[in-house]
Structure formats: C-alpha cells, structure tokens
C-alpha cells in the first residue's frame, strides 16, 4: 500500500502543467489584499475581482470565525495553466461573485510556501490520484481539505463551487467526517517510523536497485523511457558515481549518452545557454520553455563533475554557456540569484505565446543567415527532425561536433568559429524580440544550489571568476538571509528578507558552505555550516524517529507535519542533511553526527527497495558506507596547488582538506612540518604514511 501511495505521490512529475505569464497590465481598477505582497505570482492576482488574501494566521482565523469554507489556490510565476485559469475564471466577475460570497479565498505562491503546497498537493493526490499546478483546494474553516483538483474550465469551476457550498450549508457534518479520514491519509504518507533493526548497509542492496533501474533506461536518447522527460540531476550524480566506483561501463555509457542527448536537444538553449524545465518528447527536443534556477544549478554541478571524469568538450561548453546565461539573466547586483524566466513571451503579433522567444521559422533563418544558412541548417536540423509545430523549429543537434566536421568536410576549429558567428547573428535578431519576463524573488535554498554549482564549476575548470561569484553569493546569504541566532530566511525581495526558512534552505546552505570551506580552507564557512546544523537539530529534528521535519518548531502548525525524505527533481531535504552530517562528522570528528546520518539512512532503507530511482541521493550516501571513503589532508607550503590538482579530478568517494600553515582542525592537527608538503590518505580512521606528490596519493586511492 505504501509503495502504491508513493508512486502516485510522484506522479506530480508527469502531471505538472506549467508556464508563465507575469501580468504588467491590469483590467480592474481596485485591488485585493495581495497588493501588499512581494511575490511576483501573488502580485499577478492583486487586481483580480476575487477578494484574494495571503496565507497567514489572520486569514485562517477569519475563516474560522465566520465559519466559511476556504478556497486555497496554489501556483507559481512559471505556471502557464495557472494563468489560463486566471484569465478564464479569476478575472471573471460572475466567478468572483460566487467565490467572494461563499468562500474565504487564499492565493499561495508554492515557491515561497512549499510547506503549504506539500500538504494540499498530498490531499489532491489522495483524492484524485494525480496532481499539478494550478492546485485548487476547498477546505473547511479549520483548514482541513475536503475537495481538490488542478485546472478547471470556468463552467466546471462554478458548478463545483456551487455544489460544495450548498452541501456544506445543508450537511456540514458529512464534510467534517470526510476531512478527518483524509487527514489520516495525509499524515500516513509523511509518516517515518524509526527502523530499530541493526544498522547494516550492503553493496548488494545498491546493485539490486541499479539492475531494476536499468530496465527503464532509454538506451537511444538517454534518460528514462517515460515521456515527458525530467532531467533528475541527482539521479545521474549517483549513477555516474556508481559506474565509476564499480567499473560499470554499460551504466557509464548510459549516463554519458543521457547528458549528451540532453545537451543536443531543444531542452538546452543552443543560442543563449541554460536548460528549460523538462522535455515533452523522448528526444529532449521540445521543452516546456521556462528556465528555473534550481534546474540549471544542479545541471551545472552534474556536467562539471561529468567533465572532470571524462573531459568531454561538450560538457565544458554546457557549463560555461549555462553560467553565462545565469550571469546575464538571473543574477542581481547584490550577487543573489533570481528564480526563473517565463515560458511565455509576446510574439510578433503581441500575443503571449509559449516558446515565442526561442523558436524560428525557416524563411526567417534564411534571411538573417544568408550564405551561412546551408551549413547551419544541417548542424541544427532545420528539417523534419527539428520541426515542431506551426512551421516553427526548435534548434537541435543529433551528432557531436567531431562527427559533423568529418561528414561535412570542415575543420573542427573552423566549425567552432562558425558556431560563434551563427550565435552572434541569431542573438542580434533575438534582441528585437520581447524577452520572457523575470520572476525576481530570491529563494535561499535555490541560491545555495547555484552557489554550489559555481563552486563545482570552479573546482573542475579553475576559472577564478566562478569562485568570486560564489563568494559574493555566500556573503549575501550570510549578511542578508541569516540572522544572528543562526536562523535563515526563505525569501528575499525588494530589500526585505521574509518567511522562516524550511529544512531545504538549511540543508542546501550547509552543503554549499561545506563545499566553500573545502575549496578556500577558510574556517568561517565550516563554522557557519556547523552553526546552521546545530540550529537545525534544535528546531527541526524529531528525536522520536531520528529524522528532520520540513518546517521549524517555531512555525505555526499546519494540518500535517511533513518529513520530506523522497528524492525528486531536487534531492530531499533529509537526504541532503544526512550527507551534511556525514561530511561534518569527518571534518569535526563528531561521532554524534555520523550516528545521526546512519540512523536516517537506516530509516529509509526499507522503502528504498523497489523504489531506488526515488532515493538516489540516499543511495549515494549508502555508497559512503559500503565502499571505501577517503579523507585526504594536504599540509604544507604547496598544499593549495596540490589540492587544486587533486580536487579537479573525479574522486566522488573522497573528502579533501588542506592548509598551508599549522592548523588545529581535527584532520589537519599536528601534521604541519616547516618547509615540507605532505599528503595524508586515510580511510576508516587508518592513515597511510604521508606522500609528497599527487601521483603517489592517487596510487594509494587505487590500492
């Protein structure tokens, strides 16, 4: 039963309807209470005739006091069908009259309030078997859901609301009885019981999950066999590592094929860089065109790590172009990162259209490229392979540059210059188009993911600019989003830090600060990572089941206390926190942290079986316990240079630390010798004799 519930819980990956239409003009003269909010999504609805309110204690208290049903409508600024429903229903005066008369109406930005979204998404999935956005729920005056769904046409919506309103007036007890049963179902899905069996992890468990997983691989285009295709970066981080540590050439080939085909596709912006959210087809050709910060952050990390392993030029190109896109489009003057770019933009007829900014007509390309068109059309498939709909083409490659150069009798260096020329020509042409609109709120967890992405890129490519950007963003988080008591804020917009952070904000920030400490050897970042960890244990940890709640103990209670532990498009906050505890246990020689990480992994182990692809970050952690995990300490005058050499290699089963001077950090203490540089390789609290060179250190790792 639990596995079945898990499977349809994860159907949200398939049933998401999303896009973006940020309104800058309004048809209504008056505003509702959302006019006081900062969320771009909420402000889009500020001039609807529906009397929207924000989610807060005052609104919920009003519903209880007036004994009125609540409509909770959840979406986000990159949600296309949210805005279709807005235009059809929420901007309609008849619909507004029905909603305003019979309901308290609440709008929620799911990116600002993922805790609220999770509770009501779970309810809708239990009611209907699927989910997505817009998410529309009717709840009792006490906030417990009684009905819900996603997108509805106007007449459907009106009919449903009138039926529910009438039934509630005539027989409210029926709704209260149903709400109690639904509440039990919601709580059961988030229930984690401590696994009291002896902690034991084996390679066989991991191997069994890999073998089951392989049956669902698309061996031609990469990724999974299902459509639509989501990129799932944490899945491929784990599979890449497993293939490396187990010398699984077949698996390695599949991972590399997936990353290559994603980079070839229209999913990846071939002109400006950056990835869209997912592909609607099997060959990664036609994306849903919105560009999300969290996708691009995780993919930069993935392609950087993959490049450090196989040195494929395409992967380097993807990283550099994507970070160039981030710098130009999603970076604030303060060094913070914005959330997303719209899928919709105004076409030549000034009508909002999904993908209008990104697609091309054949005749348009011929006109602007002139003599360059013939080769360009072969390279980017301006043919049946690259045709989308309405005579629009989305640029897509189907061979690598080396193969293309041979087939078309052109030097690889000349092809590179051609590509740069083509991109400049198309960029000049696109400058006349109206760009997709920007969701300029800053979310701490997503910023931490991008901060870590810059650090991963710096590690692999030693491009100092990437470290500078990372440090600026880390300083922003430290000074703007972190309070003196160790508390993090979730949101930043218009100079204001708001909303108490969720576990994902803490987990991702801790992970980024640990990475920053590893690279810079500045103990400030290790201390801050530990400070945030201690705060998280005090305010999020559930001692009864040894897991972390998603929301702080300081936050007002929702109808369900969520424990997020299943990995999704972003790894679960509990799995990230378990990784953090594992690493900090080594850096700080903290046995309690290691015991906590082990216990958390042991808790989810029973559910990993038969569901490995939904627990990839946990499986990654399990590898730390089932395969050798090395501590490498480099101490002495040349430590930084040797660290850079070693750290740029693909060594996923290592923790590397360095210091050029005497240092009292546990892994470095009493290891400094004036005038020398020594590399210490340790595993399971046992160290080899120190060596002087990177080459000899690598030999110890191979042994």
Long-range contacts (CB closer than 8 Å, 24 or more residues apart) made by 11-14: 11/125, 11/129, 11/130, 11/131, 12/121, 12/125, 12/130, 12/131, 12/132, 13/230, 13/568, 13/569, 14/130, 14/226, 14/228
SS3 74: strand
Domain 2-189 of CATH type 3.40.30.10: yes
SS3 53: strand
Fold adopted by 208-247+295-339+439-626: Glycosyltransferase (1.50.10)
pLDDT at 225 over 70: yes
> Cα–Cα distance between 417 and 403 in angstroms, integer?
16
- The pLDDT value given to residue 7: 40
pLDDT digits (tens, 9 = 90+) for 332-375: 999 999 999 988 888 889 988 889 999 999 999 999 999 999 99
The confidence band for 467, taking pLDDT boundaries of 50, 70 and 90, is very high
List C-alpha distances in Å: 323 to 125, 316, 395, 469, 629: 36, 11, 20, 10, 31
> Cα–Cα distance between 300 and 463 in angstroms, integer?
14
pLDDT at 5 over 50: no
- Residue 111 contacts residue 40 (beta carbons within 8 Å): no
Q: Quick count: other Cβ atoms within 10 Å of Cβ 204?
A: 9
Q: Taking residues 401-408, what's their average pLDDT?
A: 97
Residues of the chain within CATH 1.50.10.20 domain(s) are 208-247+295-339+439-626
Least confident of 189-203, 382-396, 429-443, 669-683: 189-203
- Residue 150 contacts residue 135 (beta carbons within 8 Å): yes
Q: What is the bridge-based pairing of β-strands 489-493 and 442-443?
A: antiparallel
pLDDT digits (tens, 9 = 90+) for 241-265: 999 999 999 999 999 999 999 999 9
List C-alpha distances in Å: 286 to 262, 290, 353, 365: 11, 12, 15, 19
Q: What pTM value is reported for the model?
A: 0.94
Q: Taking residues 385-393, what's their average pLDDT?
A: 95
- The pLDDT value given to residue 212: 93
SS3 201: coil
Mean pLDDT estimate for the chain: 93
> Cα–Cα distance between 78 and 189 in angstroms, integer?
28
Q: Which of 133, 132, 151, 184 is nearest to 8 (CA)?
A: 132
Structural tokens at position 703: 């042994």
- The pLDDT value given to residue 342: 87
> Cα–Cα distance between 337 and 327 in angstroms, integer?
9
DSSP one-letter code for 337: B
pLDDT digits (tens, 9 = 90+) for 30-54: 689 999 999 999 999 999 999 999 9
- The pLDDT value given to residue 29: 55
- Residue 697 contacts residue 632 (beta carbons within 8 Å): yes
Residues of the chain within CATH 3.40.30.10 domain(s) are 2-189
DSSP one-letter code for 87: I
Q: Taking residues 480-491, what's their average pLDDT?
A: 94
- The pLDDT value given to residue 21: 31
What DSSP element (H or E) covers 104?
A: strand 103-109
Q: Which residue has the higher pLDDT, 697 or 9?
A: 697
Tell me the chain's radius of gyration from C-alpha atoms.
Answer: 26
Least confident of 55-64, 609-618, 632-641: 609-618
- Residue 518 contacts residue 527 (beta carbons within 8 Å): no
Q: Which of 108, 170, 115, 155 is nearest to 135 (CA)?
A: 108
- The pLDDT value given to residue 353: 87
> Cα–Cα distance between 554 and 535 in angstroms, integer?
12
pLDDT digits (tens, 9 = 90+) for 55-100: 999 999 999 999 999 999 999 987 888 988 999 999 999 999 999 9
The confidence band for 496, taking pLDDT boundaries of 50, 70 and 90, is very high
- Residue 393 contacts residue 362 (beta carbons within 8 Å): yes
pLDDT at 187 over 50: yes
């Amino acid at each position: 039963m639990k596995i079945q519930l898990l499977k349809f819980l994860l159907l949200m990956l398939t049933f998401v309807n999303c896009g973006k239409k940020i309104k800058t003009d309004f048809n209504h003269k008056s505003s509702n209470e959302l006019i006081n909010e900062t969320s771009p999504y909420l402000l889009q609805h500020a001039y609807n005739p529906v009397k929207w309110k924000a989610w807060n204690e005052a609104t919920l208290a009003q519903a209880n006091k007036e004994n009125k049903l609540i409509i909770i409508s959840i979406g986000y600024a990159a949600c296309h069908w949210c805005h279709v429903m807005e235009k059809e229903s929420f901007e309609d005066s008849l619909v507004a009259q029905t909603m305003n008369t019979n309901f308290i109406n609440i709008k929620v930005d799911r990116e600002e309030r993922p805790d609220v979204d999770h509770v009501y998404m779970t309810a809708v999935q239990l009611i209907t078997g699927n989910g997505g956005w817009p998410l529309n729920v009717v709840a009792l005056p006490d906030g417990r859901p009684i009905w819900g769904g996603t997108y509805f046409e106007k007449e459907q919506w009106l009919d449903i609301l009138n039926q529910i309103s009438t039934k509630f007036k005539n027989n409210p007890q029926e709704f209260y009885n149903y709400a109690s049963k639904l509440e039990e179902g919601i709580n059961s899905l988030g229930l984690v019981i401590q696994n009291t069996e002896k902690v034991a992890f084996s390679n066989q468990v991991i191997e069994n999950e890999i073998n089951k997983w392989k049956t669902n691989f698309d061996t031609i285009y990469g990724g999974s066999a299902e459509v639509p295709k989501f990129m799932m970066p944490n899945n491929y981080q784990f599979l890449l590592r497993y293939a490396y540590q187990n010398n699984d050439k077949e698996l390695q080939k599949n991972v590399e094929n997936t990353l290559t085909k994603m980079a070839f596709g229209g999913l990846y912006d071939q002109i400006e860089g950056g990835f869209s959210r997912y592909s609607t087809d099997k060959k990664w050709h036609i994306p849903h065109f919105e560009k999300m910060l969290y996708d691009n952050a995780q993919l930069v990390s993935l392609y950087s790590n993959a490049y450090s392993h196989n040195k494929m030029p395409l992967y380097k190109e993807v990283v550099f172009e994507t970070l160039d896109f981030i710098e130009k489009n999603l970076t604030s003057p303060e060094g913070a990162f914005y959330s997303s770019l719209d899928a919709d933009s105004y076409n030549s007829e000034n009508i909002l259209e999904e993908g209008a900014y990104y697609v091309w007509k054949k005749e348009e390309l011929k006109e602007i490229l002139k003599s360059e068109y013939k080769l360009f059309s072969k390279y980017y498939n301006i043919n049946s392979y690259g045709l989308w709909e309405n005579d629009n083409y989305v640029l897509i490659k189907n061979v690598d540059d080396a193969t293309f150069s041979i087939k078309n009798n052109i030097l690889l260096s000349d092809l590179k210059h051609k590509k740069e020329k083509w991109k400049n020509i198309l960029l000049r042409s696109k400058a006349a188009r109206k760009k997709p609109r920007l969701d300029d709120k800053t979310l701490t967890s997503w910023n931490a993911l991008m901060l870590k992405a810059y650090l991963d890129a710096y590690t692999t490519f030693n491009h100092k600019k990437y470290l500078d950007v990372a440090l600026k963003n880390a300083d922003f988080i430290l000074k703007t989003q972190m309070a003196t008591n160790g508390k993090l804020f979730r949101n930043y917009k218009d100079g204001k830090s708001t909303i108490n952070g969720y576990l994902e904000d803490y987990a991702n920030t801790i992970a980024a600060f640990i990475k920053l400490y590893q690279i810079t050897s500045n103990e400030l970042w290790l201390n801050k990572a530990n400070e945030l960890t201690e705060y998280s244990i005090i305010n999020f940890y559930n001692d009864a089941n040894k897991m972390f709640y998603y929301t702080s103990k300081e936050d007002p209670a929702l109808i369900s206390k969520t424990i997020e532990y299943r990995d999704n498009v972003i790894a679960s906050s509990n799995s990230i926190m378990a990784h953090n505890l594992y690493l900090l246990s080594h850096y700080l020689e903290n046995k309690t942290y290691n015991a906590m990480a082990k216990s958390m992994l042991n808790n989810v182990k029973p559910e990993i079986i038969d569901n490995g692809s939904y627990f990839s970050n946990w499986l990654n952690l399990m590898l730390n316990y089932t395969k050798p995990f090395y501590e490498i300490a480099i101490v002495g005058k040349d430590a930084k240079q040797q660290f850079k050499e070693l750290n740029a290699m693909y060594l996923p089963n290592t923790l590397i630390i360095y210091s050029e001077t005497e240092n009292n950090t546990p892994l470095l203490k009493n290891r400094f010798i004036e005038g020398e540089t020594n590399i210490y390789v340790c595993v399971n609290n046992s160290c080899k004799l120190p060596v002087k060179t990177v080459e000899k250190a690598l030999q110890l790792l191979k042994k």
